[in-house]
Amino acid sequence: MSDELIRLTATEAVARLKRGEISPLELVEAAAARIAAVDGAVNALPTLCLDRARAHARELMAGRRREAEGEPGWLAGLPVAIKDLADVAGVRTTYGSPIFRDHVPERSHPLVERIERKGGIVIGKSNTPEFGAGGNTFNEVFGRTLNPWNTALTCGGSTGGGAVALATGQVWLAHGSDHGGSLRGPATLCSVVGLRASPGRVTRGTSNNLFSPLSVQGPMARTIPDLALALDTMAGHDPLDPLTFDAPAQSFTQAVAQARGGLRVAFTANYGGRLPVDRETREICAREVRRFEAAGCTVTEDFPELGPVEDVFLALRSQHFVVDRELQIQAHRAQFKPDIIWNTEQGLAQSASRLAWAERERAALYRRFAAFFQRYDVLVTPGSATPAWDVALRARDVVDGVKLTNYIAGSALTSAITLTSCPAVAVPCGFDRFGRPVGLQIVAPARGEAAALAAAALFEQAIGLDRLLPIDPRAGEVPPE
């Protein structure tokens, strides 16, 4: 029974919970058994709160804590993983930092409160890089999280633990966050799905960067219908976050169920050579994007002009780091990894004129994308510049023969979209010759999550890779360059 339950999609599990065919406690125990069986091989969920989860399950079964029953995104007692950047009341929350090694918050993050109000049961905390900074999930508190398709490789970052927990069947849904690609990158490298939502779609609650659109919270899942369900759970106005707005009248679950063909799809493998992308990745994505044509869509190779996106993103990200980390570094410099110190000091050293330039360039980029979406419904790119790399490396250092200059340079495919405030969905599209997952990034106009999810649903139905999950962790070797 336990093995059968972990193989259900989140949508199937919630439907069975609503019908009373299974109980929340049965799902908690199924997840606990699966975690015990496989997490030792991948280190996705280093902190568990099983007794807390069981207590929540019993409350739901007794008819309590069900005030949101019937609302879109009602999870009815489905266990979920929360990224170790978001507080969960009474549960060790480290942010991947030795500074907070023993931190136990008294109150949950507003998004966690929303998820629990909607019937989600927190079963554990997923591993993340230190303060979520980086494309490889490792930290000094819990160590490295490994890719289940090949445990010699990285799972990506920073929502790496969530992606691995999903791929291995430890949970049905996972919470995460995305700044330069932290939901989309791990989803691509682990062959699951992840959504970077438009700023304001999901509350960030306690952030000091409340007026910045760069970093967002969001969902990760195994299938697109599950991803839509999770977004319904998370979306909506929060008085603690000034960028948030009301959830749409039509749920994202309904939008995915009503997905239709006929879309105008633009595809670019690397923006005309502007961004470095591994050759085999380009070839796989260019071939598989044609699956849209079977649904009556047109696929055209086209892309908007990016401008100096790498420098713009670095300038704005560095300012973001100054807000978040300047005072902490002053107090605990020796306990920070070099990448965070470097990124923060980049921000401290740049001039007001440099920031003004970056803001002007970001505005111009947004206008170019808005004009582009007058001609196309979605833009599709590779989800990552390369498949997964050696887990022992803190970051990629070379992509398609191009030497990278810093730890975020390999994420330009996703960080460029971050600057536009457009929603983007990562969806699997195949495997390279070494069996490493490859995926697409599907981008829609600002606040167009329903359109992005509907397009991703069409693609997922055509390719069927979601049916491969969950998997048992697989040992392997690092492929040659």
**Which candidate in 97, 108, 158, 198 is catalytic?**
158
Is 397 strand, coil or helix?
Answer: coil
Task: Quote the tokens at residue 353.
Answer: 């004129």
Residue 280 sits in a domain whose CATH number is 3.90.1300.10
Q: pLDDT tens digit string along 417-467?
A: 999 999 999 999 999 999 999 999 999 999 999 999 999 999 999 999 999
**Which candidate in 83, 118, 125, 337 is catalytic?**
83
Q: Which residues pair with 154 in a beta bridge?
A: 146
Using only C-alpha atoms, the chain has a radius of gyration, in whole angstroms, of 21
Angle formed by the axes of helices 224-234 and 449-463, nearest 10°: 160
Which pLDDT score, from 0 to 100, does residue 445 have? 98
**Which candidate in 97, 108, 126, 182 is catalytic?**
182
Tally of domains within the chain: 1
Asked if 181 contacts 160 with a C-beta cutoff of 8 angstroms, the reply is no
Spacing of C-alpha 369 from chain mean position:
22
Question: Would you tell me how many other CB atoms lie within 10 Å of the CB of residue 68?
Answer: 17
**Is 298 a member of any domain?**
yes
Integer Cα distance of 77 and 193 in angstroms: 22
Integer Cα distance of 24 and 53 in angstroms: 9
Question: Would you tell me how many other CB atoms lie within 10 Å of the CB of residue 54?
Answer: 17
Where residue 481 falls among pLDDT bands split at 50, 70, 90? Answer: confident
**Beta-strand relationship, 120-126 and 47-48:** antiparallel
Asked if 435 contacts 461 with a C-beta cutoff of 8 angstroms, the reply is no
**Beta-strand relationship, 138-139 and 143-144:** antiparallel
Which pLDDT score, from 0 to 100, does residue 65 have? 98
The mean of the pLDDT values for the chain is 98
Task: Quote the tokens at residue 397.
Answer: 């250092």
Q: pLDDT tens digit string along 333-346?
A: 999 999 999 999 99
Domain membership of residue 188 as a residue range:
2-66+76-468
Our answer to whether residue 207 is catalytic in this structure is: no
Burial state string for 110-128 with b = 16 or more CB within 10 A and e = fewer than 16: bbbbbbbbbbbbbbbbbbb
**Is 58 a member of any domain?**
yes
**Is 476 a member of any domain?**
no
**Is 172 a member of any domain?**
yes
Asked if 416 contacts 268 with a C-beta cutoff of 8 angstroms, the reply is no
Our answer to whether residue 182 is catalytic in this structure is: yes
Our answer to whether residue 158 is catalytic in this structure is: yes
pLDDT, mean of residues 106-128: 98
**Is 356 a member of any domain?**
yes
Q: pLDDT tens digit string along 276-330?
A: 999 999 999 999 999 999 999 999 999 999 999 999 999 999 999 999 999 999 9
Q: pLDDT tens digit string along 9-20?
A: 999 999 999 999
Angle formed by the axes of helices 309-332 and 352-372, nearest 10°: 130
Burial state string for 424-462 with b = 16 or more CB within 10 A and e = fewer than 16: bbbbbbbbbebebbbbbbbbbbbbbbbbbbbbbbbbbee
**Is 477 a member of any domain?**
no
**Is 481 a member of any domain?**
no
**Is 474 a member of any domain?**
no
